[in-house]
Amino acid sequence: MLSNFSQFVRQITKFREIRLFRLQNLRYFFEEKYNTEEFEKILKIINENDKDGLKRYIISYKRVGELLRLKTEKGSFSHLDDLIPIMGVKVLEKFYGSMLDKKSLGLGNPIVPSLSIDQISSFERVLSLNVSGNCLSWSLIRRLKDDSVKLEALYYKPFAILQKSHFLVVLSQMTDLAQELPTCDLCVCEEFPSQVPSTNMFSYFLQTTQARSMLLAVLASRPAPPKMISIKTVAIAKTFNTYVGSEKVSGQHIVDTMFETSDNLEIETKLRYYYLDSESEVKEHLSNTFLRY
């Protein structure tokens, strides 16, 4: 038994030595990666922003908390590599890259068409829209002058597209639904992973894609059409840590917390209770629209 314990201690010691060696070799990884202007811009953002400011970039709430705790304990950062021990290189490349409006590692361009963070932040009224095979859901926010946001509307409406419906029937349904969508400056949709549906899901997949395309086309035909962008599902999931292995899981708990505790989010009482009192399935659709902001 003592021998096993000694072996365990040696393994732990070896692991720490290897980890220390790797960290030492990464010590100047980001200092060499970015030029002086980029280096100073990233440090300024990290050192001067609070939780809500940092969440504008590609980083999860959990990582933001770790960063802020470290900053509280040790003061302002002077090296970009100071965060490698708690976040790792891959996470930081995405985080730092989003500050410089660069493509995120492993995601290609998560937003199509490509817009910078400053451009996205310039839109006052933002509509997040979701169409599934049997429901329409959306949320609308308005950016306020003090950099906070106000949730102005939440909406969930079930509808049915009968199998093998004529495309003009579907177009008529989407035209009616579009009348209920509010005016906005920017419309955000989710780009789902490219995949070949199974035989029994092909009809559902085709009808959902058809309905979503028609609804956006009707929205784009308005006299003052909004700018439209799509954001990849994987980008949302990685930002909020809603992946377990390779599977995306619910983000309801994240939105629940935001609705209950966020200081930078203004919500009317009736909308707050509408969301919190909704059934789980409805909350799932509504939370998916909200996590795109």
Q: Taking Cα atoms as reference points, which of 112, 113, 95 lies closest to residue 104?
A: 95
Share of the chain above pLDDT 70, in %: 74
Looking at residue 197, what is its pLDDT? Answer: 60
**Mean pLDDT, consecutive 10-residue segments, the chain of 293 residues?**
51 47 50 77 88 78 84 85 77 80 52 76 88 83 82 86 77 88 90 62 75 89 91 69 58 78 79 87 84 71
The residue type found at 15 is F
Q: Count how many Cα atoms sit within 13 Å of the Cα of residue 280 in the half-sphere of its side chain.
A: 2
CA distance 174 to 224: 18
Q: Given the structure tokens 């950016």, which residue do they identify?
A: 143
Per DSSP bridges, beta strands 247-248 and 243-244 are antiparallel
- Alpha-carbon gap, residue 80 to 100, rounded angstroms: 14
DSSP label of 267: E
Which residues, other chains included, contact 149 with Cβ-Cβ below 8 Å and sequence gap of 6+?
141, 142, 143, 264, 265, 266, 293
